[in-house]
């Protein structure tokens, strides 16, 4: 089991990355002095597969374990579900000597993390991500929150976990669409921050699609190391961390317009990355052959690349509700070729829409 650390001073925490290490969660939590009671927040799908083993490991380590289930799906990442989690924690009598453990994908991790950040003004929090997307992205960095009907993740907090445990073995049970969503985020790291990672995915795409554990461990460790490095330099997204939003600006608009249920997050990001690459090309930060290379890799990995057909007015409204809008402009992440980036300010949304092939 490899260990990476996110260095944030007194808020620093480890990432434990391995193959078949899920059963060590109890011992890991014990090592971090988290309290005696734990609320394990999961959904029925993940719970049926892994809650028994996780709860058993925690109980053997001496914890009192309370299982809290929430519905499965992005559409439930809202205030109704959040309040139901608060209600359950209150009913269980959980105090500040308790901690919350998120067992699931990004939706579970985001909402459980926000519950931990706000319940009793903050209790410790542990991430056990069970999707590839959550393992390489949302479980690391402390972004927590819920969606609002007007936009994705508009309500939330920066709240770092005390530890993250990643087990590549759980990916064997992951549905294909969910698995491909994780690959989209890994491609993102390669496009804007690590050309060698992008080239590795190009060279080992078939092994990744076969879920070869060695290939997966390599890209997960590299992705987590990149994410940790960025978070260490810019925990609250005042500057550099915005690079991790590559593909998310248009991707979030796609999710908002389609109601958070039609496209999975990674699929929407894949679509958004293609549009970002086209806008980067139009803005002369990259070449056409580099755009085509990005489209080809995403297509080869089975990810969508075509923008849903909504009108320019609808896309404009969704983009202006994005949380990256500040003082009348949209902070946009461009790819500078493959392996580098530029963060610029877009005040004329029509230029972005035109690059995406959307006309009034």
Say whether 30 is catalytic.
no
Which among 109, 100, 72 has a CA at the least distance from the CA of 261? Answer: 72
For helices 265-282 and 176-193, give the axis angle rounded to 10 degrees.
Answer: 30
Active-site annotation holder among 77, 162, 188, 227: 227
* DSSP notation for 279-343: HHHHTTSS-HHHHHHHHHHHHHTT---SPP---HHHHHHHHHTSTTEETTEEEEEEE-SSS-EEE
Catalytic residue at 78?
Answer: no
Q: Among 77, 162, 188, 241, which one carries the catalytic annotation?
A: 241
Helices (H), the chain: 25-30, 44-46, 52-60, 79-91, 106-118, 132-133, 176-193, 195-209, 213-233, 248-258, 265-282, 288-300, 312-320, 349-355
Catalytic residue among 143, 152, 222, 278: 143
Note whether 139 and 167 are within 8 A (CB): no
Compute how many other C-beta atoms are within 10 angstroms of the C-beta atom of residue 162.
20
Active site residue 327: no
Q: Which of 77, 162, 222, 248 is catalytic?
A: 248
Active site residue 241: yes
Element (H, E) at 164: strand 163-167
Question: Which residues are CB-contacts of 332 (< 8 A; sequence separation ≥ 6)?
Answer: 249, 276, 279, 324, 343, 344, 345, 346, 352
Known catalytic residue at 36? no
> Of these residues, 43, 245, 331, 335, which one is catalytic?
245
Of 88, 152, 162, 185, catalytic: 185
Among residues 74, 178, 237, 255, which one is catalytic? 237
Catalytic choice (77, 88, 188, 265):
265
Match 């039609």 to its residue by tokens.
Answer: 262
The catalytically annotated residue of 252, 278, 293, 324 is 252
Judge whether 278 counts as a catalytic residue: no
Residue 288 known to be catalytic: no
Other CB atoms within a 10 A radius of the CB of residue 15 amount to 24
Q: How are strands ordered across the β-sheet holding 329-335?
A: 325-326, 329-335, 341-346
**Catalytic residue list contains 248:** yes
Catalytic residues: 121, 143, 185, 227, 237, 241, 245, 248, 252, 265
């Amino acid at each position: 089991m490899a260990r990476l650390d996110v260095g944030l001073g007194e808020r620093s925490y480890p990432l434990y990355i391995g193959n078949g290490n899920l059963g060590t969660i109890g011992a890991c939590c014990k090592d971090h002095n988290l309290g005696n009671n734990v609320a394990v927040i999961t959904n029925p799908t993940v719970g049926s597969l892994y809650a028994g083993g996780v709860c058993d490991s925690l109980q053997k380590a001496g914890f009192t374990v309370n299982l809290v289930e929430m519905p499965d799906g992005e559409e439930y990442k809202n205030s109704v579900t959040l309040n139901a989690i608060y209600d359950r924690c209150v009913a269980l009598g959980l105090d500040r000597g308790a901690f919350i453990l998120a067992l699931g994908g990004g939706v579970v991790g985001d909402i459980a993390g926000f519950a931990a950040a706000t319940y009793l003004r903050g209790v410790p929090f542990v991430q056990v991500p069970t999707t590839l997307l959550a393992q390489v992205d949302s479980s690391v960095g402390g972004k927590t929150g819920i969606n609002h009907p007007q936009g994705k993740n508009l309500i939330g907090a920066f709240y770092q976990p005390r530890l993250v445990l990643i087990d590549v073995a759980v990916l064997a049970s992951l549905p294909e669409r969910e698995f491909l969503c994780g690959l989209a985020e890994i491609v993102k790291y390669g496009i804007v921050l690590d050309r060698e990672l992008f080239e590795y995915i190009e060279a080992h795409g078939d092994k990744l699609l076969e879920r070869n554990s060695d290939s997966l461990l390599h890209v997960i460790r590299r992705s987590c190391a990149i994410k940790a490095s960025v978070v260490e330099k810019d925990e609250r997204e005042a500057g550099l961390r915005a690079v991790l939003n590559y593909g998310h600006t248009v991707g979030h608009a796609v999710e908002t317009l389609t109601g958070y249920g039609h496209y999975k997050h990674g699929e929407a990001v894949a679509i958004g990355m293609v549009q970002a690459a086209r806008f980067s090309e139009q803005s002369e930060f990259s070449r056409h052959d580099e755009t085509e290379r990005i489209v080809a890799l995403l297509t080869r990995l089975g990810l969508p690349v075509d923008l849903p057909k909504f009108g320019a007015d609808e896309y404009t409204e969704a983009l202006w509700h994005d949380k990256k809008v500040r003082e009348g402009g949209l902070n946009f992440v461009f790819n500078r070729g493959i392996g580098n980036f530029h963060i610029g300010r877009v005040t004329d949304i029509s230029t972005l829409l035109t690059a995406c092939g959307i006309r009034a």
